[in-house]
């Protein structure tokens, strides 16, 4: 049950073709091995902060696209997001993402952890990140170089 944490516009920017929690649950259940969904929670009290979902790319099982959103302050869920990215890359996955070109907050969020654009369409921007770029980001160093 994640949709109600977001405004209609924010939800559309995250999952534009699914309109309810039930549709989301049906989609995840109908595509095991293709889509994986995770809830990021605070360690101290278990309060949910954000969710992430991964989609395996059809052309290569070792490429995933990562998407999601949060309903708390971004600094609270950056750490979990970066940890997810690091784990994926350490296991040999290439990580991509994409969003609407007018979704400036998603673009800014992605770029802050090292994603760079590699392709644009009329509506979408496609980005990728590698391990070196991510570990060189200010946010990575803030959370993991202490």
H helix and E strand count, the chain: 6, 6
- Quick check: 29 pLDDT over 80? yes
| Banded model confidence at residue 60, pLDDT cuts 50, 70, 90 | confident
* pLDDT over 80 at 95, yes or no: yes
pLDDT at position 37 over 80: yes
Query: Is residue 121 scored above 90 in pLDDT?
Result: yes
- Indicate whether 146 pLDDT > 70: no
> What is the distance between the alpha carbons of residues 116 and 96, in angstroms, rounded to a whole number?
9
Percent of the chain with pLDDT over 70: 99
Q: How far apart are CA 75 and CA 92, in angstroms?
A: 27
Q: What is the model's pTM?
A: 0.90
Task: Work out the mean pLDDT of the chain and round it to a whole number.
Answer: 92
Please give the Cα distance from 137 to 90 (Å, whole number): 17
């Amino acid at each position: 049950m994640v949709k109600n944490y977001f405004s209609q516009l924010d939800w559309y920017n995250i999952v534009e073709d699914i309109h309810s929690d039930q549709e989301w649950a049906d989609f995840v259940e109908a595509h095991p091995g293709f889509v994986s969904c995770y809830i990021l929670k605070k360690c101290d009290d278990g309060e949910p902060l954000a969710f992430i979902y991964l989609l395996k790319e059809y052309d290569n099982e070792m490429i995933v696209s990562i998407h999601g959103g949060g309903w708390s302050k971004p600094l609270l869920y950056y750490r979990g997001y970066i940890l997810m990215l690091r784990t994926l890359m350490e296991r040999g996955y290439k990580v991509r993402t994409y969003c609407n070109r007018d979704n400036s907050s998603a673009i800014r969020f992605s770029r802050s952890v090292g994603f760079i654009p590699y392709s644009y369409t009329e509506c979408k921007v496609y980005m990728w990140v590698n391990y070196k770029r991510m570990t060189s980001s200010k946010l990575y160093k803030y959370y993991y170089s202490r």
